[in-house]
Structure 1
Amino acid sequence: MKLCIIFPPLPFGWTPVAPPILEYLAALTKKADPTIEIQLISGSATPDAFEKLDCDLAAISILTPTAVPGYRIADSLRARGIKVVFGGMHASAMPEEAKEHGDAVVIGEGESCWPQVLKDFRAGTLQPFYRGEQVELSDLPTPLYGSLGGGHQFRIVNTSRGCPFNCTFCSVKPFFGGKIRFRPIEHVVRDVAAIPEKMYINGDENIWWPGTENMQRAIDLFTALRGTGKKWMGFGSLGPVLAPLGSKMLNAARDCGMLTVWVGWDAMTDEGLKAYAANGKIGVDRERAVRTLRDHGIDVSLFYMLGSRDDSLDDFKRSVELADRLGVSMHPSLVVPYPGTELARQYEPHIFKELGWEYYNGSYAVFEHPDPAMTPEAREEQFYESSLELLSLPRVLRHMFKVPLRGFPYAHMLSLMNQLPVRKGMKIAFEKWKASKGEVNLKR
């Protein structure tokens, strides 16, 4: 039996990060049935691979921005007699839609049902839907790191699942649940040691959850990782940074090789945070928290959204001012009400129904705004003007020289490796946008 595991191409080109589902699902497959022959395809890295694909079953994992190319790939494979199973966050949020393009859909986490999917396929009794349970994470296999080509330079390690916060825009809690499930620390260390590269990404929604017990677990994890000798980056909320254990935790993170933390800044104003129900995650003084991270030798990149129904045009300018004030890199997105989220429910009456999922990539305004000045065109134009300014080459280089010296030279190289692909992707997005809107007169 031949299985092909596919991650469809991303909207704006290749990134150096290996899609984690590919090598992990390969490991789950080998655990269930070692005789299966597996091929992994990262669509952004090898876009021509689908034409030559030869397999019995294709497993396609889709996010909302990759749903349209994922469906297109599935339709082509099924026309050639290849069975298709969908999984991933978008398929879980929209299973009936995914089923229109596939033979089966895995809803939720796959560990509990993937062996049954493979067994049913072999028996010719593939079911239309499989619902995965949220299992404990004590027996996850190590991903088959290194089995994916395409020049990817970063692998992802996950140490937990679930999120207790109620941010309206986020798909994590609807998909993974509100309970935080931790992996055994020794299993995490084992997986990090298996990564062939010298740097990796901690792919957790949050590398340090609030609360004394959770922060101590983070300290214990970081202490155990010191022996791997590898550098890494991860995603963290700002709330725990200023807690009593915050300094000890940050020192432990830096000492085990942490170079950069990607932080959800989410909104430019406190009112915007409250509208997203994200203020509990952020903490009481987010600018001081960012400065504290930098004081501990950790570089900071802020992710945030613009153009919500509570935002104004001034918020676009505030993001550039914030980058200058804090000395951080900024990675903006227009607000996307992803299916299955509370934000999608709230915005449902205002969403432009004629726009397909290919517009849900963070570079298009996909809903009406109550402010007449915040037309879709105005939001998109301001988004590109501020984004291209933040990702201009002089700013990228200036930021590299602001990276804390404790991380030299790895953190400085990583700053470029993080921002240059994003800059390239933003320029690709901008060219696509101009082609769809006609020439525009931005200030750049």
Structure 2
Amino acid sequence: MNLKHTCSRLKNGMHSQPRILIIQPSHYRSRSNLSPYKTGKRALVGLTLPYLAALTPHGWEVQLVDEQMSSIDFEAEADVVAITTWTINSLRAYEIADRFRARGVPVIMGGPHTYFYPEESAEHCDGVGVGEGETIFPVMLGDAIEGRLRKFYRAPRPGELAHLPFPRYDLLDLSKYGLIRTFSVQTSRGCPFRCEFCSERFYLGNDYRYRPVQDVVNEIKSSLARNIFFADSNFAGKPDHTMELMEAFIPLRIRWSTLWPAYLCNNARFMDLAKRSGLLHVNLGIESVDQQTLRELGKKNSMVSQYQSVLRNLREREISYSLNFIFGWDTEPADIFSSTLRFLREEKVPAAYFNILTPHKGTPLYERMLAEDRIIHIDDIGRWPGIHCHIKPKNLTAEELEENVRMLYRKFYNYASMFTRLPLPLNQARIASWMINLSQRKVSRAQVDMESFDDY
């Protein structure tokens, strides 16, 4: 393909500004239905597309396409196409890239997927960004416009997060996000923990880095948002800084949601401040109700005996919450599924997500399972929506593990369970919990996993 077509078109006066089309692909509905998943709307205003627009140098004409909500015009006039990819949408991303390249349009790709699969991604595009985009994305665009794209652009060691540009929400059609739209804001990158199964610490860096408080406050003010999802791997990786941040939220009068470790909920001062600052919903990765399994996970700060006080502290402050579980650990007892369901019902947990231990490429878990010859369908890991087991469990078959997780979704999100767990009368926290439950009920009936936190 002639990558100099863009430069020559500009020199010939076809248009005065270079044009970039930035695409966030949807994912295929299933292995048997290769049509992109569409909703036409979202509750959460995503961060990736408007942030990439903010990183685009001045003088470019920028168009953003979220394929889940709108169709891609494959005949669009574009000098460069940029595609952001997770593994779940990588196959669709490759198809999109191939179609634009067939027209002679240079395609660049980035995102978490290209960090772990750079060579594979390079087969479908002209330039692959590996790592954080602040330093490499503008360079890739400059090289593309000059017709000198390299195959790989690797970001230097992750740097400080001060003075990041604010997302270009002005380029989005915000009417597609409903009346009570929630904006994504990132206050930090990385995580201080070293979970064997987690891949985020590799492409975001092992160090926990956080933005200056005033930068975060200014971004929230600029968006005019009143509902915020803080899209951090761990919002409270440094609790003292988090408390400073929450103090700054109070005059903003926002309602916000996020993720953090469960043990922090036993810190009364921390939780009181979170409530005063507008915390609506928090997601907690407790992973298991079996203490031996928590030891296998290396969760030193997690004690099953503390779960009741953690959840009581949330209920007393009328904070909505959801719990994440992972199944498939070697140390799990035979009754792990029934004991988990019993715990959820007894504690009247408002929302929960049930996951299968997955050996994502690049993680210590992947390397361990590979060495033990326990990975199933290695090329499919993370590629398809739904409940899929990619390991050989020690205590049951892969099919049994999948069916037990489906059972948890069905039983936890049936109407009888929902009316038992979710109290009346409604307040803001309970409305949030009901919204998650109704969404997850649809998910459980379709036997498709949630791939995002759109319903927080």
CA contact (8 A) 1:4 1:55 kept: yes
CA contact (8 A) 2:116 2:361 kept: yes
CA contact (8 A) 2:143 2:149 kept: yes
C-alpha displacement of 1:157: 0.6
Q: Which letter maps to 1:424? A: K
* Aligned match of 2:447: 429
CA contact (8 A) 2:24 2:67 kept: yes
| Among candidates 177, 191, 194, match of residue 163 of structure 1 | 191
Q: Cα deviations across residues 60-79 of structure 1 (Å, max 9, x unaligned)? A: 12112222222222222222
Structure 2 length-normalised TM: 0.84
**CA 1:250/1:358 → structure 2, altered by over 3 Å: closer, same or farther?**
closer
C-alpha displacement of 1:355: 4.9
C-alpha displacement of 1:284: 7.3
Q: Cα deviations across residues 220-265 of structure 1 (Å, max 9, x unaligned)? A: 11111112111111101123333xxx21211111111111100111
Q: Cα deviations across residues 319-371 of structure 1 (Å, max 9, x unaligned)? A: 21121122221111122211111111111221123652455546111121233
CA contact (8 A) 1:359 1:366 kept: no
C-alpha displacement of 1:301: 0.3
| Among candidates 367, 386, 390, match of residue 408 of structure 2 | 386
Helix, strand or coil for the counterpart of 2:423? Answer: helix
Question: 1-side partners of 2:216 and 2:51: how far apart?
Answer: 14
**CA 1:127/1:430 → structure 2, altered by over 3 Å: closer, same or farther?**
closer
**CA 1:186/1:173 → structure 2, altered by over 3 Å: closer, same or farther?**
same
* Aligned match of 1:356: 380
Does 2:25 align with 1:8? Answer: yes
* Aligned match of 1:137: 161
Does 2:55 align with 1:28? Answer: yes
* Aligned match of 2:338: 317
* Aligned match of 1:198: 226
Matches within 5 A, 1:358-377: 359=383, 361=385, 363-371=387-395, 374-377=396-399
Q: Which runs of 5+ in 1 are unaligned?
A: 432-444
Does 2:203 align with 1:175? Answer: yes
* Aligned match of 1:225: 249
C-alpha displacement of 1:52: 5.0
* Aligned match of 1:276: 297
Question: 1-side partners of 2:315 and 2:27: how far apart?
Answer: 31
CA contact (8 A) 2:26 2:66 kept: yes
Q: Which letter maps to 2:51? A: Y
Helix, strand or coil for the counterpart of 1:205? Answer: coil
* Aligned match of 1:437: none
Structure 1 length-normalised TM: 0.86
Question: 2-side partners of 1:146 and 1:282: how far apart?
Answer: 45
Q: Which letter maps to 1:181? A: R
Question: 1-side partners of 2:209 and 2:137: how far apart?
Answer: 20
Q: Provide the aligned length of Structure 1 versus Structure 2.
A: 414
CA contact (8 A) 2:264 2:270 kept: no
* Aligned match of 2:133: 110
Q: Which letter maps to 2:235? A: I
Question: 2-side partners of 1:411 and 1:381: how far apart?
Answer: 31
| Among candidates 2, 13, 18, match of residue 45 of structure 2 | 18
CA contact (8 A) 1:241 1:293 kept: yes
Structure number with higher helix proportion? 1
C-alpha displacement of 1:24: 1.0
C-alpha displacement of 1:417: 2.9
CA contact (8 A) 1:89 1:171 kept: no
RMSD over aligned Cα, in angstroms? 2.4
**CA 1:398/1:232 → structure 2, altered by over 3 Å: closer, same or farther?**
farther
Q: Which letter maps to 2:412? A: L
C-alpha displacement of 1:181: 1.0
The worse-fitting range, judged by mean Cα deviation, of 110-119 and 418-427 is 418-427
Q: Cα deviations across residues 269-307 of structure 1 (Å, max 9, x unaligned)? A: 222223232344679723322322222332220011122
The worse-fitting range, judged by mean Cα deviation, of 323-332 and 272-281 is 272-281
CA contact (8 A) 2:136 2:153 kept: yes
Does 2:296 align with 1:304? Answer: no
* Aligned match of 1:147: 171
The worse-fitting range, judged by mean Cα deviation, of 278-287 and 146-155 is 278-287
Helix, strand or coil for the counterpart of 2:298? Answer: coil
